[in-house]
Chains A and B, each alone.
Chain A
């Protein structure tokens, strides 16, 4: 199972919006609503931000949204804030009790 493809880094100024892409295949990202997104601050546990492609867990800001087109999923963060600076990972269930992560994207808030 190959890793999902994410850009290594993205950046934006406070208040702006950014989008992180996550490219996979028809067996993972493109298959139903299998994508989740995680925020990871160094030294802390990853945090679930989006599941089923576009749903937010309770307590996650509505500035975070997810979408999908074909075999590519996207995470959009609007109204960037300093505390959004972190690494972001997409993850997809790939069937047969197997998961695959993206390589991660470092978000810098300028």
Chain B
């Protein structure tokens, strides 16, 4: 069965970086893209960016440009999201999700369990 398993919770100081992993299993990793979504406390879901697991192409949300990098390791079927220069408003639960590339509108059909990143001095 399709599973996305994320790394554990992180506590970081302002200005630091965090790298969250998302281990995929149960399907052909390079056939579906991965997107990252976050939810700050009391807020809604926010799309962060996309990465093609086939060729590594990326597209990031404008507000995160320059601070976020998404990568994949096809040998371990793992996706990564690194966020730099952390601020207190980056405190959120971060989710990876599989993009169903074969359906119109590219829905997010499987999600990781979420990783809480807390930014605090």
Seen from chain A, the residues whose Cβ lies within 8 Å of a Cβ on chain B are 1, 3, 32-36, 38, 40, 45-48, 51-53, 57, 87, 89, 91-93, 96-104
Contact = CB atoms under 8 A, between A and B. Distances in A.
B59 A51 contact: no
Contacts, number: 76
Contacts of B27: none
Contacts of A87: 44
Nearest to B48: A99
Nearest to A91: B108
A45 B57 CA distance: 26
Interface residues of B, number: 25
Contacts of B61: 1, 98
Contacts of B47: 91, 98-101
B105 A52 contact: yes
B107 A89 contact: no
B104 interface: yes
Interface stretch (B9-17, B75-83, B84-92, B110-118): B110-118
A43 B103 CA distance: 28
Contacts of B54: none
Contacts of A97: 50, 57, 59
B69 to A, nearest CB: 16
Contacts of A91: 45, 47, 107-108
A1 B95 CA distance: 20
Contacts of A96: 59
Interface in B3-26: none
Given A46-B45, A100-B47, A92 B105 contact: yes
